[in-house]
Structure formats: structure tokens, C-alpha cells
A and B are shown apart, each in its own frame.
Chain A
Amino acid sequence: MQSTDFGNPIHVESLVRQIHAKSTRPLTLMEVCGGQTHAILRYGIDQLLPPHLRIVHGPGCPVCVTPAETIDRAIEIASVPGVIFCTFGDMLRVPGSQSHSNANDLMHAKSQGADVRVIQSPLEALRIARAESQNAAPGSMKRQVVLFAIGFETTAPATAMAIRQAKELQLDSFSALVCHVLVPPALDAIFADVDHGIDGLLAAGHVCTIAGDHPYHRLADQFNLPIAITGFEPVDLLRGILNLVEQLEAKPTSHRVDNLYEHIASAEGNLQAQRTVETVFAICDQHWRGMGSIPQSGLKLQPQFASFDASSRFPQGKLPGEQPSCCRAADVLRGKIRPIECPAFGTLCNPNHPLGAPMVSAEGACAAYFLYQALAPLNISERTPSKRTPSKRTPSELTQSESLNPKDDLAP
């Protein structure tokens, strides 16, 4: 099985032709996944669509929505002498609230001597903790290993398994700074705004692979919203877009949840993963960077796992959280505008000097537009959406290297 078949230009061309044939009116479709944002921009999928089909990007990057205060706390804990702070690489350069005079991101903390280690799996942090525990000389202090646990529903089961294992192994040198967030409550917050202006939703395939499709049935019914669960390759995304166009062009319009990632995601999701997450975590209110507090949108440790909570294990100093204010990140995260419509985009705000959350992470929508607008030049006039005159590409203009890169196939 070549996953790259889902980048086949012939299939892409066929799907694009169908979308053009069936789409008759202006529609705004939202996706909520950093991987899909990047795939759409990287393959120029938005430029293959009819001009009246507009794709906007929701809060699909858990790195971007991690509050500045949590970054501050991570830097504070990582800077405690003897701590080994384990994080996914994405978090290294995300700035905190600039309340630290010495370091404003984990990379900087590392340069100042903090033992910050990049891991690819929460189990690596567990492995480091076990090794430290076994190697510590009798009577000496064991080094504390802290996992920076961030991510959507997709990643929470991995954290949950690491913490459950730590409890079973009685690893008292292991803890986690937990900042997991849940997608459906954030969508509730977006669609509760009567002016949201979004006609259909592309739901992220890997979130649904874990959580199943049932949260989306309620959203579809409550907000009369067609939803297509899709993957991350050109064929996946175009099947999702075609499905939404078909639902919205039908008379009367429909608002079904259709699973177009059915070769990977089942309707019920991954039940083993759901059970482990429910054992280890309880749902709580959560602050999202750029969006504010969203009820029931985060995870905290259940009481029986509370001893593994890094935020209570390490003393907390005074952390005055601050949010960058002179950018329109909140409007980008709610799909009100696209990044290029922000007056600060690409000038005052860029990846080296980010003003807002979606520019700070490599997976953010603003960072994706900044990176890929060089490949597919967007007209300055796009800053005003009504004047959009995009330089459209035909599917056959997708190069081999763009279409057939196996390593970037399945992201969210």
C-alpha cells in the first residue's frame, strides 16, 4: 500500500473537476488541523478551487493555543536545578509572556543551562525517568523528569499511557505538566457566534480516529453544519471539500457528518485509547491562547493521579501572564479572517518576530501562509477578500515532488 497514492495528480484533477462542476455559489469552509492547514497551502489546494470557495483555518494547532502562562510555567520548571524537561520539538521556540527576564522560550532556557530534551514520544520521558531512577546512587537525590504534555485528543492517550505506567511502576521521579485541549468545545465556542460565517467543516481525521465521530453529530445538528471527516493528503482533502460542496448545493441542503477517512477512523473511535484517557484525566475548563477560556475544553489529572502533576510538584513564582495584543490572531483562530488579511502579517509579524499565536508555531496558520506564499504567490489584493484574484494552478501543475512525498503524507 503506497500512501502516496492519495497524492496522485490524476485523482486530484478528477476531484477538482467535480468540485468546479458542482459548486455554484460562495461558500466558506473551515478546517481545524495544523496538518491540514499546511497540506492545503503546501499543495496549493486552495488555488485549485473555484474562486468563490473560501477555506479558513480554525484553532487547529495545539502548540499555538497553549497559553503564554503555561509556557512561562514550563520555563520555570525546566530551570529548576536537576530537572530533566522533556518536550516535543514544536514547543521549543514558542514564546511565553515575556515575564521572564532571562528566558522567554524553552530553547533560550536550554541555552542558559536548563536540561531540556526533545522527545518523539511520552514513553521516551518515561524511559529517561526509569533510567535515572535505576542509575541514581543509593541515598542521592533522583533527578526529576517532567513531560510537557500538550496536544489534542490524538496525543492525550500517549500521555495517559505514560502516566498510568509511571503509577504502576511507582516512578516518583516522573511528572507531567498537562495542557491537553479538546477540539469540539472550541468549535462550540466558534459556532455559538451568530456571525461565524462558516458554511461547512472539515473535521480532522486523527482526532476522530481517537475520539470517534459522535461529538460531531451533535455539532452538525445544533448548528445545521455539514461536516466531512478527512485526512491530510490532497485526495483526502479534496474528497472532503467535494462532500461539503455536495451537501451545501443539495436542495434542501443537508448537514450530515460523513466520514471520508473511513480506511483509518471508525465511527466509535479508538475505545482502548478513550478508556485510558478517561482513567487518567478528567475534563476541565481551559484557557486557549488567542481565544480565551473555553468551558470543558481541557484535561486535568484525576485525583488518583494527582501526585504526577508537575504544576503542584514544583513551587510556582509570580507569573503575570500577558497576551500579545496588536495582532488579529483571535480572528484567524475563529476563521473570521485568513492570515494574509491581518495588517501585521509578514511585516510586523513573522516567524522570527511573532506577534500572535498562529505565527509562533511552525504548524500555525499564519506560519503556513508565511512559508508557502513564496511557492504560490498570493496577490496583495487578497488582503481584501472581495478583491481576490488568485493565480490559479491546474492540478497537472502539481509537481512530482509536491505530489509524491511520502514523509509528509499524514499530518494533522
Chain B
Amino acid sequence: MCLAIPGQILSIDSTGTLRMGRVDFGGVIQEVCLEYTPEIAVGDYAIVHVGFAIARLDVIRAKEILETIAQIPTE
């Protein structure tokens, strides 16, 4: 139910009553409400749940997590 999918912000439209954006989900492009992520910018990855971006995905931090795991010695 709380399914949320990462997508990349292609464009932002702040002219309407709600701040909306076009978001690319691996080739599928959908309109998403960006009211809850005022900090998000074109090119960022958003975590999107039921048509709303609920967070910005920190790509650098995510890479650091994976690099830390990769550095664990394999016995």
C-alpha cells in the first residue's frame, strides 16, 4: 500500500494551484504533485507515492551506503 517508486524530475510547473512536475519512471512519464518537496529540482530523483513526491532521494548517500558494503572484506 505504501508503495513508492523513484523517478527523475524532468520539469516543474509552479503556475497552477499545486506545484506539479513531470517525472520519468524508467521511460514512463507521469504528472506528480511536488507540494511536499519544495526543495526538489529538475534532475533530482523523487520518491513518489500515490501521485505525490514524498522525499528527495539522496543519490550520493545511497552510493556511499553501497560502497561501504562493498568494502567489507570477504574473509
Contact = CB atoms under 8 A, between A and B. Distances in A.
Contacts of B55: 209, 264-266, 270
A209 B63 CA distance: 19
B4 interface: yes
A273 B37 CA distance: 9
A264 B51 contact: no
Contact of A154 (B18, B49, B62, B66): B49
Interface stretch (A43-51, A118-126, A291-299): A118-126
B66 A206 contact: no
B14 to A, nearest CB: 15
For the residues of A in contact with B, the DSSP-based class is: helix
Interface in A178-210: 204, 206-207, 209-210
Contacts, number: 144
B51 A34 contact: no
A63 to B, nearest CB: 6
Nearest to B71: A14
B2 A158 contact: no
Interface size class of A (residues with CB under 8 A): 35 or more
Interface string B1-22: 1111110000000000110000
B1 A412 contact: yes
Given A235-B66, A263-B62, A206 B49 contact: yes
A157 B1 contact: no
A309 B33 CA distance: 23
Given A1-B63, A8-B66, A62-B1, A263 B54 contact: no
Interface in A370-412: 406-407, 409-412
Interface of A: 1, 3, 5-6, 8, 10-11, 14-15, 17-18, 33-35, 61-63, 88, 90, 120-124, 150-152, 154-155, 157-158, 161, 165, 168-169, 204, 206-207, 209-210, 235, 239, 262-266, 270, 272-273, 276, 363, 406-407, 409-412
User: Lowest 10 A-B CB distances belong to which pairs?
Assistant: A121-B51, A412-B2, A154-B2, A263-B61, A263-B62, A1-B59, A206-B2, A411-B3, A263-B58, A273-B36
Given A150-B1, A206-B2, A410-B6, 20 more contacts: A1-B45, A35-B3, A90-B1, A124-B51, A151-B50, A155-B50, A158-B49, A158-B52, A165-B18, A206-B4, A206-B49, A235-B65, A239-B65, A263-B57, A264-B57, A264-B58, A265-B55, A272-B38, A411-B2, A412-B3
